[in-house]
Amino acid sequence: MLINFKFANFMSFKEECFFDMSANSDKSHRELLIDDKYSKAKMIYGANASGKTSFIKAIDFVRWFVFNSSRMIDGAPIPVVPFKFCEQPFDSPSSFAFTFIKNGKKYYYEFSCTREKVISEKLDRYDSSKPTNVFERNNVNEYVFRHDVKTLKEISQKNTANKLFLVTSATWNYAETKPVVDFFLNDIMVSYGLNQGWQAYLSKIRAEGQSEEFSKFCLDLFNNADISIDNFVVEEKKYKDLPQDAVLNSVISVLMRGDQNKIEQFDNASVYNISVSYTHLTLPTIA
């Protein structure tokens, strides 16, 4: 569960942007709160070009970096996009920090990076009200370990300047960092529409028999937001059941290099069509 997120020097944001899921003092709708402390959902709104997309892409970048860090070869560029109106935008590090709860335990993770390297990194775990530092990294390759020193030193020698030590340590089976990586990979999903990742999420919901519960959640959200959506229906079809096009099928066969297993997987892939109905709006009569 996300508690808060902050970042700076990324896309249209130069100064720090802070997003907090903490609840305010109003407890009149406790069913919308978690432990009376955190909101289940929050909405961001604003004018065009006010930074909404940059905010979403900041979260998306962190998730991408965690997912791909272990695959990056030494010297490969980090696709971070700093605020471009700084005097030296590509030399100034962008920073990101998350506070969250995973498996009932609170964590704080932060890092800063340029396109060439990770400058700093820190992970704290909360066993009580005070944080316990798991590791700290400064000046690219200066590490501080207070526990499991021998193990973490050996792992740090396998890390490179352009990789997150968080991911490298989890890759080498360090138990303390695995839940944190799992949070970014499986508890956070960023969607700009029905892309492949979101389709996989819908498939999981349907496979686990949670379609009705998920639909109710969405409709409650729409109604509370007062955006006049009355109902929606998600229709799932397999690609093989759609109208076929001989040219397209030939192209797919070429792309799959004639691999029948891959072609069969593609044929059985799900395609979703969403139909939305709106509440009839009666406009006032102007005399």
Contact residues for 270 (Cβ-Cβ < 8 A; gap 6+): 199, 202, 203, 236, 237, 238, 239
Chain mean position to CA 253: 33
Residue-level pLDDT, tens digit, the chain, 287 residues: 899 999 999 998 999 999 998 888 877 778 778 887 888 888 888 888 888 889 999 999 999 999 999 999 998 999 999 987 766 656 789 999 999 999 999 999 999 999 999 999 999 999 988 999 999 999 999 999 999 999 999 999 999 999 999 999 999 999 999 999 999 998 888 876 555 566 667 777 777 888 888 888 888 877 777 777 778 777 777 766 766 665 455 555 555 566 667 666 666 666 667 777 776 555 455 54
Q: Which of 251, 248, 252 is nearest to 264 (CA)?
A: 252
> Which domains does the chain show, CATH number per domain?
2-187 (3.40.50), 196-278 (no CATH)
The two three-digit tokens of residue 31, written as one number: 């069913």
pTM above 0.75, yes or no: no
